[in-house]
Every structure is written in structure tokens, then in C-alpha cells.
Structure 1
């Protein structure tokens, strides 16, 4: 793929994308990468809320030095096509932590696409993604883990869960593992389901109104994505942004 033309659904990383939204962004958006390099031993954390009434594409490249730690947490609640794409390269003993939530309705596609390359031994990575959608919306997670031949003692994990609040919404998870080392731990899991109606009924039977009961259940569901975020204020900001998408939704 070159930046002379837009990708198509034949490109694996774009198979569930909103191609109309991408066309409105234009080919120039594909060159707009944010490159970040962490020095050996450095720790850096970033939390962000993305999405607006127009299409957005956020592309981030992380190079994590030996023994360094990078943490990225994202709430994706765009009112139009919103894609967050992260490419990571881990040196020896480095760690990458990712927590992301896609949430919303209005027929919008919201997605995370990650590629994590374990280039050297003893590095670790963990990715936790939650998707909550309704009204024909779609939440996507395409996560690729690559382990180089000499990257022994790699420990990498992905966990995706989708919650569909009404018929017509969808969630797609595409975990990919490419492993050339033999002494590694790599795991991934993906599930998609509906809200626990028994739990909601239980809460309503004890005096909670339907909207509050649903909000609490959704909050518990998406909270897993931000468990590793130690800054309480940043965690609340991400959760509030996600839960705000529920306000006014006719569910």
C-alpha cells in the first residue's frame, strides 16, 4: 500500500473500516504518524479521549527501549468514523500496556488497530479492549502480535469483549499471532454478547431506574480496560467520556 491511493477492504488491517469515512479523511491522513521513542528504563503514560462529529484517524508509532514501559489508554466515542492505530516495537525487558474502549451508536464505526512487535527477549505486553455499541454501530479490534525468532521469554496477551445493547449493532475482533520463538507465552481471547438482563432486573427490583441500572452495568464492563491506569483522575475522565455516550441513547 502506498499513500498515493486509499486502502481497500482487501487490506487486512482495513477489512472492517468505514471506507466512506476514510475517503473523507483523504490519503494525506495516512502519512500523519506520531512517532514516540522511550529511552531505556523510561516510563511514560498517556490517556486520551478521541472522536468528534467528523472522521478521525490517529496513528502512533512507539519504540520502547530496554526495560522501558509505555502505557496508552483510550476512550473512542466518536460521532463519526474514528480509528486509532498503534504500532509498537519492544526492546529487551520492555513493557507495553494498552487499554481501550469503543462506545456509541448512530451507525458509526469505531476501531482500534494494533501491531506489537516483540523484537528482543523478555519483553511483555498486555492489551485489554472493550466495545459497547447499539443503533447499528460497530466496534472493531484488530490486534497483531509478532514475536521475533530470538525474542525468548516473551509474554504477550490480548483480551477483547464486546457488548451489544440492541440488535443491529456489531463487534469484530481479529487477533493475529506470528511467533518464531519457542519459549514464549502468548494468549488472546474474544467474546461478544448482550447485557445481562437478569442483573439489570435484579438492580431494578431494588429501586434503580432502567437507565441507571444499565449505566452501572456498562461501567463495570468497560472498567476492565482501565484497571492498569493508576491515575484515578485520568481513569475517571476516560470512564466519564465513555458513559456520556449513553446519555440520551434510546435503548
Structure 2
């Protein structure tokens, strides 16, 4: 099976801003390595996805692929941090039943010449389903953070409520972030929205903190913590939320 797989190129929409050169030499069988998640009707599923640094982390390619089916009235929540790999990539394909909900909170971080990205496709295939995706990217050096999110709403999926929110924070010149929202809507009674913004640390806020005696490092940490915290607002488990925040902040401190 893997012998028939062709490596993607930047001509492929889902790989437009990715580091396709990092795929060279990768075991092609990993492209067939999908994790299937089936959430039965009325049930609730929750998981945390982490790509974190390790030995040779800036040379490896870490690819995670998930196929998620959420039954009627069920709820699926996924939260993740991508902070490792020359190319760290999480792909999520979601199908929603009637009245189902999908929640994604994700953070990408990286410097040097790394690329970290979330790529999602959420299909609303029945009425009254909802989805919410919040992704925050913090990058420095020549690091790149990407979010490519597609929402499909079929003709019968009336009363759909779908939202995407992406924000990028560039800590140094040379870093970049990219957001590509896509909406394919064939129903007429829906609410679908997306927003994207890119900026730098708030200098006025840093100055204010300095006048209160905080060091530049402390100010930066607090501002970044507030920035990425948006991605974990819906994470009810406080211990998990603190663990993900600590992982993200420690990665930041190690690289700067």
C-alpha cells in the first residue's frame, strides 16, 4: 500500500505552507496510519495530543492523523500542543451527527527553521451540530506556524453553528504564521464564522509591566501565557490545562 503513495507537494492545498522537504526519507506507511475515533451517540470523548521535543527533535518529522466520527448528541474535545519536530503536523478529519459538538484547542510553538501545523476538516452532515476551533501560534527565529481549517456544511445540515479562531504571535523577525480558513456551505440556515490575526507582543503592555518592576523575561512570559491560554479555555480539567501551559512555556524558555 505504501509503495503507491505519492508525497504531497505545495500544489496540494493542505500542504501549501508546509515543509514538504521534511517528508523525504519518511516511512510512507505513516500516511496510512490513521487513528480512528468513534464517539457513540450521547457519549463524550476527550483527549490531549502532544508533539514535544526530544533527541533530534528539530530533525524529525512527526505526523499524526485522526479520523473522528461524532454520533448524534455526542461531544468530542481535542486539545493539543505542537512543540517538536522539524515538521510537526496534526491532521484531524471530523464527521458530525445531529446535535453533535466538536471542540479543538491547539497551540503551535517553534523557532529555528521548524514548521508546526494543525490541519482540520470538519463535516457537518446533520442538523443542529456545532463546532469550535481555537488555535494559537507563537513562533520565533525562522519558525512557521500554520492552521488550515475547512468546514463543510451539507444541504440538510440546518441550524449548524461553526466557528474558527486563529491568532499568531511573532516574537522575532523572520518567523511567520499562516491561516487558511475554508467554508463550503450548502445549507441556508446556519451560523459559520472565522477570524484570523497576526501580531507582535504588545509593547504598551510590556512597558506597563516594566514600570511595575517586572523583568522583560517575566513580562514576555505573562503576555505569551495569556495569549495561548485562549486555546485551553474549554478544557475543564485544570491539571491538564496547567500541564499543557507548562509544556508550552517551557519550550518557549528553552529556545529564546
Q: Which residue of 2 aligns with 1:231?
A: 237
Q: Could you tell which deviates more after superposition, 194-203 or 167-176? A: 194-203
- For 1:247 and 1:127, the matched residues in 2 are separated by 26
Q: Which residue of 1 aligns with 2:46?
A: 45
SS of equivalent to 2:107: strand
SS of equivalent to 2:17: coil
Q: Which residue of 2 aligns with 1:147?
A: 153
Deviations 1:5-36 (A, max 9, x none): 10111110011111121223232211010001
| 1:208 correspondence with 2:214 | yes
Q: Which residue of 2 aligns with 1:121?
A: 127
Deviations 1:192-248 (A, max 9, x none): 011101101111121111111100000000000000000000001111111111113
Q: Which residue of 1 aligns with 2:137?
A: 131
CA contact (8 A) 2:146 2:178 kept: yes
Q: Report the TM-score when normalising by structure 2.
A: 0.95
CA contact (8 A) 2:83 2:251 kept: yes
SS of equivalent to 1:222: helix
Distance 1:189 1:134, change over 3 A: same
Structure 1 unpaired stretches of 5+: none
Q: Which residue of 2 aligns with 1:191?
A: 197
Q: Which residue of 1 aligns with 2:227?
A: 221
- For 2:255 and 2:217, the matched residues in 1 are separated by 10
- The CA deviation at 1:249 is 3.1
Distance 1:222 1:48, change over 3 A: same
Number of residue pairs the alignment of both structures matches: 249
Q: Report the TM-score when normalising by structure 1.
A: 0.97
RMSD of the TM alignment (CA)?
Answer: 1.1
Deviations 1:63-121 (A, max 9, x none): 00000000000011114210000000000000000000001211200000000000000
Q: Which residue of 1 aligns with 2:13?
A: 12
Q: Could you tell which deviates more after superposition, 45-54 or 115-124? A: 45-54
SS of equivalent to 2:24: helix
- The CA deviation at 1:130 is 0.2
- The CA deviation at 1:4 is 2.0
- For 2:46 and 2:125, the matched residues in 1 are separated by 21
- For 1:95 and 1:122, the matched residues in 2 are separated by 9
- For 1:172 and 1:128, the matched residues in 2 are separated by 14
- The CA deviation at 1:124 is 0.1
| 1:93 correspondence with 2:106 | no
| 1:165 correspondence with 2:171 | yes
